Structure 1
Amino acid sequence: MGTRLLRNAVAGLSTAFTAQRLQLAAKAAIAAGLAFLIAPLMPGAAANYPYYAPLGALVAMYHNVAGSVKQGLQALIGLAMGIGLAFVLVNVTDPSPVSVAVFMGIGVLLGGLPRLGSGSDWIPTAALLVLLVGGSNPDDFSFGYLIQMGVGVAVGIAVNFLIFPPLHFAAAAESLDELRAALGRQLTDMGAALKEEWPPEHEDWARRSDQLAGAARTVRHLVEEADASRRANPRRKLHPRDVDLDYRNLRELERVTFHIQDMTEVLSDVIWKDDVPYEVPFEDSAPLADAMIAAGKLLGSFQHEDLQEQRQLFGSAEAAVEHCSAAAAARKPAEGTVPASESILLSLHRILRAARPEPE
């Protein structure tokens, strides 16, 4: 128990102190300090509320430039709506437990408006701050609150734009390679299981279906993050990347993941369940295993970026699948059973279609 807690604590610290997180923290600190430095220079009553400028800088700090702009503007829109809601309450009735409750409920309802995003939380928050902190002078407080938050948001966006605006291309590329490798290992392990005496000794592959689906979702998230990080980013011209190609590769890998999950379920049912109406004929085991291992090696080869090797492995995998398909088609299935080989071969055909290397 103590070891697991320590391991979880170390993992949590590793996540908190990644290079990306440290860079974001440093920029947030710079933005907050600059905003607080500028805040007293604001006109009129706004200079009396300098502590809201660092808050605005933190609100706008996001791990990509486009996200900073979007999050900062959404916060300001929500803030303005909340201030307006507070003024309606002040002009309609005196603040009381009932009126405050009603208007906070209205603020939460308004937060459900589309495209408000993070600004939805600021509507009731801003309204409540105007009522509680503004006191007898809500006009000055509202003006200062909105101006200083705007200053902070502007500073936060500027700092994120000017100081090493992050590009998340490397994480996306690495995740695509890792998913290909994981899918290749899954095919190779299933092929090895077909060559073992049944039930096979190694069965961890049968429990990986959810892991593969989760890995595919993670890759999609990282590719979308890479796409978002290049928007409004001045560094994108210095570090060009074909994100559209990443999306195409992602869609192909998602299809491959689906087919491998299906193969995993079919093969595990054939091996460990007695009540399924399909089976893998003994004669198909060896050629089917060779085809799966060849397809697995093909997927693993994409990490090396050697197109010639990929084409050779594709040819080998295609030949192995065609050989197994021809043998299965020539044999008459046993009465009362459905050969699961056909389902697995169909999936292999589709995997090869998705994993075909670039032509010469």
Structure 2
Amino acid sequence: MAGLSAAFAAQRLQLAAKAALAAGLAFMIAPLMPGAAANYPYYAPLGALVVMYHNVAGSVRQGLQALTGLALGIGLAFVLVNFTDPSPLTVAVFMGVGVLLGGLPRIGSGSDWIPTAALLVLLVGGSNPDDFSFGYLVQMGVGVAVGIGVNFLVFPPLHLNAAAESLDELRRALGTQLTDMGAALKEEWPPEHEEWSRRSDELASAARSVRHLVKEADASRRANPRRKLHPRDVDLDYRNLRELERVTFHIQDMTDVLSDVIWESDVPYQVPVQDSGPLADAMTATGELLHSYRDTDEPAQRERFETARAAVEACMAATAGREAEQGTVPASESILLSLHRILRALRPAA
């Protein structure tokens, strides 16, 4: 995952540079605002920072949510000022109401701004809450507009490469897991190499990370003018993701079964010695199929798929009708069923 870490570092630097640019522009524009708003220029860069998100659609969403929260908070403060004098009790009650309003649907990140804005109007607005509220809301709006504009115009981020790379890395990790288990079946038991037996949770975590990255790639395309210059079939990414999630599930199951067979003495299932070779070949061929997706063309992948399917079918033929020892169940059948389902998920499009 070193490549992904480098990519994220580059994205963070880009985001920081754009945040700095947006804050500077907002602060430069802030004194030009009409009336009392010009007296509160420091809220404009704050608004720019609030919306500096890692995709354009997210910037727009956060900006609208923040301004909605600010408006609600300012309105709450005016209710307090006009109907009662601020006191510890009334401030506590209105802050509680602000937090409750934060639970309104679709308000998202704006929920934090409701009590914050109300408290600022009370504490900073002092004897002139009207001017402060007007300046606060206008300058935050200026900052939000500048931040969205900068994020839209200055290299609006597309996270397509990170998603594609994560899908490839998950395929390779799953392929490595299968080939490592295939190697373990041909070693003298207990096998010398057992790292594979501890990777089940790691594979599940990797699959969750890939889903997050694919969703981020999809979100980064929305309202992004660069999407036409970098076309990508994100629907295909989602289909590939669902297939790999199914593959991950079956490989986790195989990992648990094989680990129990090797290291647990009280499980009621086993892999007969004569099944080890055919199972190892089937696992290895399927693992090599997963490894081949990035490095080979479509005809070569189809050939790899046929090789893996032939290995699985040969193993099924070799184990068919074999009677298990009394009191045990052959785990070979469970592993073969998982391999068959993996191949169904990886079957090339017709």
Counterpart mapping for 1:296-311 below 5 A: 296-311=287-302
For residues 162 and 45 of structure 2, what CA distance do their matches in structure 1 show? 30
Matched, 1:352 2:343: yes
For residues 293 and 42 of structure 1, what CA distance do their matches in structure 2 show? 68
Counterpart mapping for 1:1-360 below 5 A: 18-359=9-350
- The AA in structure 2 aligned to 1:289 is A
Deviation of residue 187 (structure 1)? 0.2
8 Å Cα contact 1:307-1:358 kept in structure 2: no
Q: 1:110 to 1:15 in 2, by over 3 A?
A: farther
SS of match in other structure, 1:18:
helix
Equivalent residues, number: 347
SS of match in other structure, 2:320:
helix
Deviation of residue 15 (structure 1)? 7.3
For residues 324 and 20 of structure 1, what CA distance do their matches in structure 2 show? 47
Deviation of residue 107 (structure 1)? 0.8
For residues 238 and 29 of structure 2, what CA distance do their matches in structure 1 show? 42
- The AA in structure 1 aligned to 2:210 is V
For residues 152 and 245 of structure 2, what CA distance do their matches in structure 1 show? 33
Q: C-alpha offsets along residues 75-98 of structure 1, whole Å, 9 cap, x if unaligned? A: 000000100111111122111111
Deviation of residue 332 (structure 1)? 2.2
8 Å Cα contact 1:39-1:47 kept in structure 2: yes
For residues 149 and 156 of structure 2, what CA distance do their matches in structure 1 show? 10
For residues 189 and 224 of structure 2, what CA distance do their matches in structure 1 show? 56
Identity %: 83
8 Å Cα contact 2:214-2:238 kept in structure 1: yes
For normalisation by structure 2, the TM-score amounts to 0.97
8 Å Cα contact 1:311-1:357 kept in structure 2: yes
For residues 83 and 202 of structure 2, what CA distance do their matches in structure 1 show? 56
8 Å Cα contact 2:7-2:162 kept in structure 1: no
For residues 210 and 72 of structure 1, what CA distance do their matches in structure 2 show? 37
Q: C-alpha offsets along residues 291-346 of structure 1, whole Å, 9 cap, x if unaligned? A: 00000000000011411221111111101111111221232222221110111000
Q: C-alpha offsets along residues 251-308 of structure 1, whole Å, 9 cap, x if unaligned? A: 0000000000000000000000011111111111100000000000000000114112
Q: Identify the range of structure 1 (174-183 vs 335-344) with the bigger mean alpha-carbon deviation.
A: 335-344
For residues 106 and 317 of structure 2, what CA distance do their matches in structure 1 show? 55
Gap runs ≥5 in structure 2: none
Q: C-alpha offsets along residues 125-184 of structure 1, whole Å, 9 cap, x if unaligned? A: 000000000000101100110011001000100010011101000000000000000000
Q: C-alpha offsets along residues 52-105 of structure 1, whole Å, 9 cap, x if unaligned? A: 011001101111100000001000000001001111111221111111111111
For normalisation by structure 1, the TM-score amounts to 0.94
Deviation of residue 357 (structure 1)? 2.4
8 Å Cα contact 1:130-1:141 kept in structure 2: yes
- The AA in structure 1 aligned to 2:132 is F
For residues 140 and 330 of structure 2, what CA distance do their matches in structure 1 show? 67
For residues 210 and 175 of structure 2, what CA distance do their matches in structure 1 show? 16
For residues 82 and 303 of structure 1, what CA distance do their matches in structure 2 show? 52
Q: Identify the range of structure 1 (54-63 vs 299-308) with the bigger mean alpha-carbon deviation.
A: 299-308
8 Å Cα contact 1:209-1:264 kept in structure 2: yes
Deviation of residue 17 (structure 1)? 8.2
- The AA in structure 2 aligned to 1:219 is V
Deviation of residue 44 (structure 1)? 1.1
8 Å Cα contact 1:107-1:124 kept in structure 2: yes
Gap runs ≥5 in structure 1: 1-10
